[in-house]
Structure 1
Amino acid sequence: MRFTEGMWLLREGIRIDWMNNIERLHVEKDTVNLLLNKFQRHRGDTLNSPTVSARVTSPLEGIVGVKLVHWAGGLDNGPHYQLNTSAGHTKITHQKGEKLNYASGPLSLDINTTPNELGFVFSSDKGKLTGHSWRSIGYVGDQTTEKSRFEDGIFFERQGYMLAELDVGVGEKLYGLGERFGPFVKNGQSVNIWNEDGGTSSELAYKNIPFYISSNGYGVFVNNPGKVSLELQSERTTRVNISIPGEELEYFIIQGSTPKEILRRYTALTGSPSLVPAWSYNLWLTTSFTTNYDEQTVTSFLDGFRERDLPLGVFHFDCFWMKSYQWCDFEFDSEMFPDAAGYLKRLKERGLKLSIWINPYVGQASPLFEIGKKNGYFIKRTDGSVWQWDLWQAGMAVVDFTNPDAAAWYSTHLTRLMDMGIDTFKTDFAERIPVRNIKYHDGSDPVRMHNYYALLYNKIVYETMTSVSGPSNSLLFARSTSVGGQKYPVHWGGDCESTYEAMAESLRGGLSLSLCGYIFWASDIGGFEGTPPPALYKRWVQFGLLSSHSRLHGSSSFRVPWIYGEDCSDVLRDCVKRKITLTPYLLAEALAGHRQGTPLMRPMFVEFPDDLNTYPLDTQYMFGSNLLVAPVFSDSGTVTFYVPRTPEDERGSWISWFDHGKEYEAGRWYTETHGFETLPILVRPGSVTPVNPKLAVPEGDALDGLEVLVNGGLSGEVEVEVVDPAKTHEVLKVVTVKLSDGDVVATIAGEDTKVTVNWVGH
């Protein structure tokens, strides 16, 4: 939120009390408590003037938090993000009247305690990262809101905001803040952390995460589930201004010598990403949204896939598996599916996994509405009535997941469906959560619950699944989320249009989310709104099958390929089979992401932070550590991409996945034109990529047919983990790859078993 009019003036009706002095401080174990006040000339300046209490802590090594509080007398009804902490990794040095140094591993905070010279400087061995310079911590009073009444006289109130402004250096670039579809580099943008259902072609976002990552070697996490506003060099061109309505603001600076290290520390703080079952990497097909379909329609699609030798792993029933106006009643529409249980059984006999659409709302026509109303399972108005509206489902109510009985009731319906054969749920919506004149069962603050609600919703569904199927066989397909939602994967990009521009904005959104701890992501292949032309369909298929998860989904039109031409079936077949071949690689990269927070689809600068040319790139990405992907965003097939410099350059060149004799020089741009059989997929020099061309499904035998693709020379012995497809958190075998007598040899560690080596780019 903007409070100023240029450098010198404030907006009309705005007052800011800037903190310029440390009145006193107290050190207690790993915590520093500071009392901040305005510029002090004499003792009289302590009267009729606000203070801000600052508390400095370190939850984990390399992370330093600062909590700023104006008034501490408010009620704290939650909710709160769950953060992991440890102790014993800090060092505090205090030179009275001059400075205080607070060190947490490689991260250091220097606080200037000289009278009237308040300043914070966060630094590492690289030098200054960020900090608070002159007039950058303040309390804002806004008298332009309905809270201010002049007739209150001396008790006149203003809407308050805590404001913290963090320095931005020359050339510094900022990223993240959730799944944002606008410009990838966030400098110059105003961002509100507030979940909204706005589609992908707007500034609104389904997945708002108050965490950004800087090219200067740090990240910033704002620990508040409510509405956080950020002005990223958009108000002060040298700062990120962070403001929150109310009386307190807490942020954490997260140091990292590389972007990967920042992500590792951030996910250590907010939760490690959970893994997903191997079968989920296969192709998903849906009924689409508003299409007319019944049992015969679904069967014809599945027969068409089988007849064309198109691999398919998951079939998804979207909204109208239930009767109109009754979402959610968790019952198959008997007119369209007269024998739902029998039909699901027949689908399972085809070897398919099954998914269905749900949301956390109950329409008034649902038989469950009266049950929920009677038992107090819904969010209520402050007068005790059920909160309802007609936007989406007529008279719908919202399940109050803060009520344990409501959560258990909701869970029983999911369990019943899983007993019928459902394997996973698409947890849609959860962004349009009301905040005015409502109350929750546990008394939670409605504003803080607005974003947090999506997290709670996904958590309850995910934990229901794990209680039935176990963590190795559970995943969601979620649209909204909040901090820590990486523990409840997978997430997809929401409602995009059927255009190349929407395909590109979807990629930007996925890359931004990947910088917030989320290692899995998908988009609606072909676009959601509209019907894609055949060329766009094929290009999106190529891109979608080089995403962590791949789902054909639309709104008013189906996405089965032959509707767009049989050549679309050919492209889809090649792309799905290529992805299945990559299963050993994907499982190993996902396991590494679970351990370190590094996403499967990652921005180029995450993998190559020393190459400054990679920082603005948002139309290409790394798919794991070894594969560069540049999707095609045009009918002509022309694509321009950059090949980064790597530490492995001396061990060879990048090579084409499709033509191993085609080499690319690092540090150069290339423009190519591709037919629908290919796109730029480049293999990194000096890399070892495990593949298995014999696999028919991702959950197949990982070892039978296992190969390693080696590009160029190796620097010593390389170990490749082969993950167990049945338990994706466990390593089945380790393959040792090394140069021996002028040849590359791969063997299973501890055994004499040889693994086939495809050595290219010598």
Structure 2
Amino acid sequence: MKFTDGFWLSRPGLTPRYAVEVDDIRVDERAGTMTVYASTTRIEHRGDTLNRALLTVTYSAPAEGVIRVRVQHHSGAVPVVPAFALAADPGFGPGIHVDDEQGILDAGGLSVRVHRTGGWQVDFERDGAPVTHSLARSVAHISGGEGTWMHEQLALGPGERIYGLGERFGALIKNGQTVDSWNADGGTSSEQSYKSIPFYLSSRGYGVLVDSPDHVSFEVGSEVNTRVQFSVPGETLDYHVIAGPTPKDVLRRYTGLTGRPARVPAWSFGLWLTTSFTASYDEGSVTEFIDGMAARDLPLSVFHFDCFWMREYQWTDFEWDPRTFPDPEGQLARLHDRGLRVSAWINPYIAQRSRLFDEARERGYLLRRTDGGVWQWDLWQAGMGIVDFTNPEAAEWYVAHLERLMAQGVDTFKTDFGERIPHEGVVWHDGSDPARMHNYYPFLYNEAVFRALERRYGVGEAVVFARSATVGSQQFPVHWGGDSDSTYLSMAESLRGGLSLALSGFGYWSHDIGGFEGTPDAGLFKRWLAFGLLSSHSRLHGSSSLRVPWAFDEEAVDITRQFTRLKMRLMPYLLGAAEQAHAEGIPMMRPMVLEFPDDRSGFDADAQYMLGDALLVAPVLSADGAVEYYLPEGEWTSLLDGSVQEGRRWVVESHDYDSIPARVRPGTVLPWGAVDDRPEYDWADGVTLRCFQLPDGYDAETTVPGADGTATAFRVRREGARIIASSSDARAAWSLQAGSATATADGAGTLTITIEDNR
């Protein structure tokens, strides 16, 4: 939200009260806080203190490298919920020093320095060097019109880029943009977002989380060119500055505060096929889809039933439509017999015609209006109400229906919707503030479903396909990119959304291969296949048309087979990247700035990504096969054909449908699985250690996860023209490969390859 008319004037009807100078600083050693009282005018004599606002700014440190800032005008309001659940380190306490010149709170790796003389100036510093500042006309209380707001502005340095703020489908770099953190169901071609995350990450190695699920407005160099402004309605603004020094360090600390992504089951990395949305399907056609995949030797892991597995006008009633699925238990058992998992679409709404509506209404399980009646509308489903997950009994009731479906054989749920949550004229069971619940609702919804899956199938075996999200929702993976169009432009915007989400703390991400709205031509579908199968999770899904590969052409069948089998071979590598997402909060799909923070040439490379730390992928986003992408320094080898490109430059190539820029980072030992028809296997048995451009003196360990929870470690080193690998684990056969040279061992042992050029 913009408050100014140029630099000098305020917008008509608005009255800003800026922090002008420091009046006093007080320290509470026991609480670990440093509180600054800032006058909103220069105080020349005692009379100037009368009839003036005073702003209170409190600094604390919930964890090492994290500084919390609370800015308040009036502090006497009743605390409001919901609030993000942030995990402070109870054993950590900051160092605080105050003298006549300054007040300093040191969080270890990050400190804040408040100047007591002159005008308002606050410096956030890492190891004594400033990373950003709060300067004059930065901290303010704004009143006027129908409300009040608090805002802060943090300085932008020359060349500094800002990323994140949730799943945003516009430019990856947010500089110059106005971003409203307010969830909406707007598709991928708009400025709206299904997953609004009030957190941004700077290329200078720090992050900022605005700690509010309310409507947070960001002006990223779009009101004051040299500042990021963020504002919230009301009298209090809470935000956290999170230290690096690298973007990965920022995400580690951010997800340490807000929650790390859960482990997901290995089967979820296989190919998902769906019925599509409104396309015609029944039990017979579903069987035909699966038979068609098997007949064409196309590996398939999950089959998903979209909305019309239930009857029209009755979403959600959790009942199979008997006209099209007369024997759901039998059908799901037959799918399991074929080695498939089953996914079912759900949403958190109860249509009036659903048999559950009256029951939920009478028990108080639906969101209510202020007059006591049920809130309803006809958008999406006729007369639908919204399940009130702030009511524990309502959540248990909803989950009980999911448990019944799981007993029938459903393994996972697509948790659709959760964005258009009303914020005016409604009352939540627990008294939650309606404006704050608008963004927070997806957390409660997906948490309830995810925990139900964990209870039934075990920790590490739960997975959902979620669309809406807020801060902390990364704990309940996987998330997909919403309703894209079947165009090359929409494929590009979907990718930008996924990369922005990755820089917002989300470890896994997927999208609808081929696009959701419309029907892709065969060329676009084949291009999207390569991209989708080199994403963390891969799903064939559409709206009114099917996405079975043979509906396009025979080459699409071949491309599906090729890239699905490629992904299955990559499972030992992908599982390592997934474990890093779970343990450290580092996403599987990584924008270039995350993996190469010192290479400014790749900062705006928004049409490519690193899949894990070693594999660069650049989707082909044009009908003619032309693609331009950036390679960092070194010699990068194609995973598909072995060709080598020199880096530190932009590369232009042309690719056929069976090809994509997928280049391996120099200095990589890539574990290559022995099985290509399923994601679940003994990944260490028969694994090949593929060596790419290992420098002389390389000596590192490569770990391959095991299905039983154990891991096999291989030590690889290069000594001149020799590459030597060894393992003390005798359970599995394995191979060592560099270029065309391969050596194979049965069980434990040491392998040596002599190479000519390390290619």
**TM bucket normalised to smaller:** over 0.9
State the distance in 2 between where 1:259 and 1:4 align: 32
* Residue among 313, 317, 326 paired with 2:305: 317
Larger mean CA deviation between 271-280 and 687-696 belongs to 687-696
Note if contact 1:411-1:464 (Cα within 8 Å) is conserved in structure 2: yes
Which residue identity is paired with 2:120? L
Alignment gaps of 5+ in structure 1: 146-158
1:416 is displaced (CA, Å) by 0.7
Contact kept, 8 Å, 1:695 with 1:701, in 2: the verdict is: no
Rounded to whole Å, the distance in 2 between the matches of 1:693 and 1:722 is 12
Matched, 1:445 2:433: yes
Q: Which moved more, 1:29-38 or 1:610-619?
A: 29-38
Report the 3-state secondary structure (helix = DSSP H, G, I; strand = E; otherwise coil) of the residue aligned with 2:519: coil
Match status 1:108 vs 2:111? yes
Match of 1:732 in 2: 711
Q: CA deviation at 1:251?
A: 0.7
Distance (whole Å) between structure 1 residues aligned to residue 460 and residue 241 of structure 2? 33
Task: Give the match for residue 148 of structure 1.
Answer: none
Q: What SS does structure 2 have at the residue aligned with 1:472?
A: coil
- The offset of 1:742, in angstroms, is 4.2
What is the percent sequence identity of the aligned residues?
48
Shift of residue 21 of structure 1? Answer: 2.1
Query: Hey, what's the Cα distance between the residues in 1 that align with 2:328 and 2:453?
Result: 20
Q: Does 1:698 pair with 2:679? A: yes
Indicate the SS of the match to 2:466: coil
* Number of the residue aligned with 2:443: 455
Q: Which moved more, 1:616-625 or 1:744-753?
A: 744-753
The equivalent residue for 1:130 is 132
Distance change >3 Å, CA 537–CA 126, structure 1 → 2:
farther
Aligned residue identity for 2:200:
Y
2:656 is the counterpart of 1:656: no
Aligned runs of 1:22-171 on 2, under 5 Å? 22-29=22-29, 30-38=32-40, 39-87=42-90, 89-114=92-117, 117-125=119-127, 127-143=129-145, 145=146, 159-171=147-159
* Aligned equivalent of 1:154: none
Mapped to 2, the partners of 1:79 and 1:534 lie a distance apart of 47
Alignment-derived partner of residue 517 in structure 1: 505
- In structure 2, what is the equivalent of residue 199 of structure 1? 187
Partner of 1:665: 646
Contact 2:481 2:512 in 1 (8 A): yes
Contact 1:747 1:755 in 2 (8 A): no
**Counterpart amino acid of residue 33 in structure 2:** T
**Contact conserved, 2:25 with 2:103, CA < 8 A, in 1?**
no
Q: Which moved more, 1:623-632 or 1:32-41?
A: 32-41
The answer as to whether partners of 1:507 and 1:619 remain within 8 angstroms in 2 is yes
Q: Is 1:680 the counterpart of 2:668 in the alignment?
A: no
Report the CA distance between 1:126 and its aligned residue.
7.3
Aligned to 2:601: 613
Distance 2:638 2:555 in 1: 23
Q: Would you say the 8 A contact 1:102–1:109 is kept in 2?
A: yes
Q: Does 1:291 align with 2:279?
A: yes
Of the candidates 689, 701, 718, which is equivalent to residue 719 of structure 1? 701
Which residue of 1 is the match for residue 748 of structure 2?
A: none
Q: CA deviation at 1:725?
A: 3.5
1:401 and 2:389 matched: yes
1:666 is displaced (CA, Å) by: 1.6
Aligned partner letter, 2:369: R
Where 1:262 maps in the other structure, the secondary structure is: helix
2:490 corresponding residue in structure 1: 502
Tell me, in whole angstroms, the C-alpha distance in 1 between the residues paired with 2:478 and 2:428: 27
Q: Is the 8 A contact 2:304 2:343 kept in 1?
A: yes
CA shift, 1:664, in A, is 1.0
Contact 2:169 2:497 (8 Å CA) reproduced: yes
Superposed displacement of residue 732, structure 1: 2.2
Cα contact 1:344–1:421 (8 A) shared by 2 = yes
Contact persistence 1:90–1:102 (CA under 8 A)? no
Q: Would you say the 8 A contact 1:35–1:51 is kept in 2?
A: yes
CA deviation digits over 1:637-663, x for unaligned, max 9?
111111112xxx4xxx21111222x21
Once the two structures are TM-superposed, the CA of residue 693 in structure 1 deviates from its matched residue by 3.2
CA distance in 2, matches of 1:126, 1:520: 35
Match of 1:707 in 2: 688
Match of 1:281 among 262, 269, 273: 269
8 Å Cα contact 1:288/1:318 also seen in 2: yes
Q: Which moved more, 1:530-539 or 1:730-739?
A: 730-739
| 1:526 equivalent among 514, 519, 533 | 514
Q: Partner amino acid for 2:447? A: K
| CA deviation vs aligned residue, 1:28-52 (integer Å, no higher than 9, x gap) | 1221122222121211121111122
What count of residue pairs does the alignment treat as equivalent? 737
Q: Report the Cα offset of residue 623 of structure 1.
A: 0.8
1:633 aligns with 2:615: no
Counterpart of 1:101 in 2: which secondary structure?
Answer: strand
Give 1:581 shift: 0.4
How far residue 90 of structure 1 moved from its aligned partner, in angstroms, is: 4.6
Q: Distance in 1 between matches of 2:626 and 2:674?
A: 29
Secondary structure of the 2:464 match is coil
After superposition, the C-alpha distances for 1:707-762 in whole angstroms (9 at most, x for unaligned) are: 11111224442212222346xxx442222222368432333345596630111334
- The residue type paired with residue 387 of structure 2 is V
Deviation of 1:11 after TM superposition, in Å, equals: 0.7
Out of 234, 250, 255, the residue aligned to residue 243 of structure 2 is 255
- Normalised by the size of structure 1, how large is the TM-score? 0.95
CA contact (8 A) 2:572 2:684 kept: no
Match of 1:535 in 2: 523
- Report the TM-score when normalising by structure 2: 0.95
For residue 58 of structure 1, give the secondary structure of its aligned residue in structure 2.
strand
Distance 1:167 1:655 in 2: 40
Q: Deviations over 1:149-195 (max 9, x none)?
A: xxxxxxxxxx1000111111111100000000001100000000000
| Aligned residue type for 1:658 | L
Distance apart, 1:473 and its partner CA? 1.0
After TM superposition, where is structure 1 displaced by more than 4 Å over at least 4 residues in a row? 87-91, 750-754
1:60: Cα distance to partner?
0.9
- The answer to whether the 8 Å contact 2:419/2:438 transfers is yes
Confirm or deny: 8 A CA contact 1:746 1:756 kept in the other structure: no
CA distance in 2, matches of 1:305, 1:747: 40
Report SS of the residue matched to 2:175.
Answer: coil
Partner Cα distance (1:497, 1:126) in 2: 48
Q: Name the SS of the counterpart of 1:477 in structure 2.
A: strand
Q: Partner residue of 1:569?
A: 557
- 1:100 and 1:33 map into 2 onto residues whose CA distance is 9
Q: Which amino acid aligns with 1:86?
A: D
Deviation, 1:511, is: 0.2
Report the Cα distance in structure 1 between the residues aligned to 2:729 and 2:687, rounded to whole angstroms: 17
Paired position in structure 2 for 1:149? none
1:759 aligns with 2:738: yes
